[in-house]
Structure 1
């Protein structure tokens, strides 16, 4: 029996080194136009992080892994922001309804056997969550087993891990984190926006994401550095900066996808019938 040919991939474009800065500018424009619903995403993550801090503030060995694991699952948390940017791009209302429809699409697409239904987003989200959980456990094991003293506070982490004169714990922690983060970044940098926008399979989305990174190694390395820098800024401001950082990076990631990928060869993802009917009843259908 002949093997099936691999699914065709969308065309990937090459971009300029400074393009990530333009994505951030466009993100601020989207945030201003979407208003409170955009910042609500950042507020929700900030509140969740605050709850995490209250539970684990004396267990920084766990908190360090959990906060850094946030970078892994962030592409999923920003799904509603991609939808808002897409709606703004199309001249459609960018409101709470757009976000709710986006998160509920998977419930109405289970019967699609073509591989391009919204369950792809759910499966990809679960994979990222599994990777994030794996890093949290790895980070906690490294710090608790190899640290010379119990690490309970941020000061302990800085003194006995980051600035330790003996041993290589911090370098090992960073190295393993980078080793895990690099392939996840390459797999997810445009995968979630593509799955949201087009009827693509999970394999198509991940391979397209890798192709975008391979075709633009320096701009994508710059983009990864910007994501890391702004995320650290948000975390370092007692999480308050995440109220603006998360929506900014989420909207910017949509514009990254639009610049990097020509997905016109793939059919657009349609609104499920139930959602479309509700829209028509409210007089805001496309």
Structure 2
């Protein structure tokens, strides 16, 4: 007689493949509405995330204000790692969904002790969020260097101001630097968006491996090409709005996009067969 294999312990990543749902084209607008509701319920703690990110952007501006060849890549590279920086926003939306308190305690637990029931603190499962954040940081750094190299090597004159960038790169009649810059940025942005669309909330919420989370994110994007393209356009539009308002708009835009990303994950991925990361802690209560 065949003896069934024992179930995986709660501290092991699940081998189950998360299901992916299809959504309507306009569903991303619903995520934005839900995000604003979450921000209203969380209050200052949500806007504090946006303030921190806006201050980071201000530091980038201060360091590279007269080096626009570096500034263009640094700001866009900073946005590459934004999904990792928004992790505690996902946790706040999850707490609201569960009817729990969404306060500073949730934020501190997310960043300092996000798996307090995890036995093995040295395994890949425990550090998957950190690993993913490091990969995003590496991708962002790569883009900063690539962008700076393109502009400094191929621009006809030194690019030190936004006006010089517009005049000699964007509006240049002879040359293809701006088109090349956009094309390379798109080559980087498309796979990063596909890899991060739901991966970070999934890693936070369920006990899956980093590879499972990334593949699930790709499957969700490929199963919903038009709605996810619309979502990417909304992210770009809101981000440009935040940057174009002297970074002040980022105080509201960044937490809104973070909360909305949680609701995107909940709509796109069926996690009913996956164990929760903090299941043991919840049972203990």
Do both share a fold (TM > 0.5)?
Answer: yes
Please say if 1:169 is aligned against 2:177: yes
Deviation at 1:115, TM superposition (A): 4.7
Contact 1:105 1:272 in 2 (8 A): no
Does residue 84 of the first structure (1) align with residue 92 of the second (2)? yes
Following superposition, the deviation at residue 70 of structure 1 comes to: 2.1
The residue aligned with 1:193 is 201
1:13 and 1:224 map into 2 onto residues whose CA distance is 18
Answer whether contact 1:42 1:245 (CA < 8 A) is retained.
yes
Q: Which residue number in structure 1 is paired with residue 234 of structure 2?
A: 226
Counterpart in 2 of 1:130? 138
CA offset at residue 105 of structure 1? 2.7
**1:45-91 residue CA offsets vs partner (Å, 9 max, x unmatched):** 11111111111100010000011112210100110100000000001
Q: In 2 relative to 1, CA 272–70 (structure 1 residues): closer, same or farther, beyond 3 Å?
A: farther
Cα RMSD, aligned residues only:
1.8
Unaligned runs of 5+ in 2: 1-13
Equivalent-residue separation in structure 2 for 1:226 and 1:26 (angstroms):
15
CA displacement, residues 161-200 of structure 1 (integer Å, 9 cap, x when unaligned):
1111110100000000000110111011000000000011
Distance 1:236 1:110, change over 3 A: farther
Residues 201-249 of structure 1 deviation map (CA, whole Å, 9 limit, x = unaligned)? 1011000000000100000000011101111111111111100000000
Conservation of the 8 A alpha-carbon contact between 1:8 and 1:204: no
Task: State the match for 1:270 in structure 2.
Answer: 278
Q: Which residue of 1 aligns with 2:10?
A: none
Distance in 2 of aligned mates of 1:181 and 1:206: 15
Kindly tell me: are residues 14 and 34 of structure 1, through their superposed partners in 2, closer, same or farther at Cα, counting changes over 3 Å? same
1:232-247, aligned counterparts within 5 Å? 232-247=240-255
Q: What TM-score results when the alignment is normalised by the length of structure 2? A: 0.91
- Alignment match, 2:125: 116
Query: 1:55, 1:115 → 2: CA distance?
Result: 35
1:16 aligned to 2:18? no
Normalised TM-score (structure 1): 0.90
CA–CA separation in structure 1 for the residues paired with 2:73 and 2:31: 28
Which residue is equivalent to 1:47?
55
- Which among 101, 104, 111 is matched to residue 96 of structure 1? 104
1:215 aligns with: 223
Within a 5 Å distance, the mapping from 1:251-266 to structure 2 comes to 251-266=259-274
* Contact 1:189–1:253 under 8 Å retained in 2: yes
TM-fit CA distance, 1:42: 0.4
For the residues of structure 1 that align with 2:27 and 2:54, how far apart are their CA atoms? 28
- Count residues with an aligned counterpart: 270
Tell me what 1:250 maps to: 258
